[in-house]
Chain A
Amino acid sequence: DGGITQSPKYLFRKEGQNVTLSCEQNLNHDAMYWYRQDPGQGLRLIYYSQIVNDFQKGDIAEGYSVSREKKESFPLTVTSAQKNPTAFYLCASSTGQKDGYTFGSGTRLTVV
């Protein structure tokens, strides 16, 4: 079955630590996205990528970094510069045309 796989499901980060969230898709989609979800705030765009080796900042990119070395993969690194990283992180993909997104099941990141 085609879909998006996010791992891990739960992640705990210590203060000052960088962590990387994995996102893999087998839908052959060109575009991939990372969103952050906080209660009562909907989904906010962190980064997006339309093609391999190219990505753009979204609305809340500070403290995050991404790479797109393969079409299937779009990992997100939450750096120590992100002051409030506790949130639910969602990866999505689309064909890039006028259609909906396919989302992964999310990674819940908690700072300990």
Chain B
Amino acid sequence: QQQVKQSPQSLIVQKGGIPIINCAYENTAFDYFPWYQQFPGKGPALLIAIRPDVSEKKEGRFTISFNKSAKQFSLHIMDSQPGDSATYFCAASIRSGGYQKVTFGTGTKLQVIP
């Protein structure tokens, strides 16, 4: 019930394409859904996040689409660039025992080809 399933494991797109990364969850008590971007040898950095009371959030070229009834959410990267090549993690969190417990997906390695 605490799992977050992420797909695909890897993704290759050409520059300007729109990669889409999908995540699914089971626990309807999750109340915060962040996405993290990680470059090789670095720690993940918070990219964008959404709460379950909205269906879409945009920040620059990054968009989260959220489908509460299907328990799915996805990250879209508009006009992708080679600099977007990184590993992306979705996550879902829930308040448990006084702290925000976060469950991460297994990550998607994105390569944007020039």
Q: Which residues of A contact B (CB under 8 A)?
A: 4, 6, 31, 40-43, 45, 48, 50, 56, 90, 92, 94, 96-106, 108
A98 touching B89 by the CB < 8 A rule? no
Identify which of B43-51, B65-73, B76-84 touches chain A.
Answer: B43-51
Q: Which of B27-47 contact A (CB under 8 A)?
A: 31-32, 34, 36, 41-46
Q: Which residues of B contact A (CB under 8 A)?
A: 6, 9, 31-32, 34, 36, 41-46, 49, 51, 89, 93, 95, 97-100, 102, 104-107
Residues from chain B with Cβ under 8 Å of A6 in the complex: 43
A98 touching B93 by the CB < 8 A rule? yes
Residues from chain B with Cβ under 8 Å of A94 in the complex: 100
List 8 additional A-B contacts (Cβ < 8 Å) besides A56-B97, A101-B34, A104-B43.
A92-B43, A96-B98, A96-B100, A100-B34, A100-B49, A102-B46, A103-B44, A106-B42
B107 touching A103 by the CB < 8 A rule? no
A101 touching B106 by the CB < 8 A rule? no
A101 touching B95 by the CB < 8 A rule? no
Residues from chain B with Cβ under 8 Å of A99 in the complex: 32, 49, 100
Once bound together, how far apart are the Cα atoms of A4 and B43, in whole Å? 10
Q: Distance (Å) between the CB of B91 and the closest chain A CB?
A: 8
Residues from chain B with Cβ under 8 Å of A42 in the complex: 6, 89, 104-107
B106 touching A41 by the CB < 8 A rule? yes
Task: Find the A residue at minimum CB distance from B44.
Answer: A103
Residues from chain B with Cβ under 8 Å of A92 in the complex: 43
A100 touching B46 by the CB < 8 A rule? yes
- The listed residue (A40, A43, A103, A108) touching B9 by CB distance below 8 A is A40
A31 touching B100 by the CB < 8 A rule? yes
Task: Find the A residue at minimum CB distance from B98.
Answer: A50
Q: Provide 9 A-B residue pairs closer than 8 Å at the C-beta atoms, listed in order of the A residue.
A: A4-B43, A31-B100, A40-B9, A40-B106, A43-B89, A90-B44, A103-B43, A106-B41, A108-B41
- The listed residue (B6, B97, B100, B106) touching A98 by CB distance below 8 A is B100
Q: Distance (Å) between the CB of A100 and the closest chain B CB?
A: 4
Task: Find the B residue at minimum CB distance from A33.
Answer: B102
Q: With contacts A43-B89, A106-B42 known, is A98 near B105, CB below 8 A?
A: no
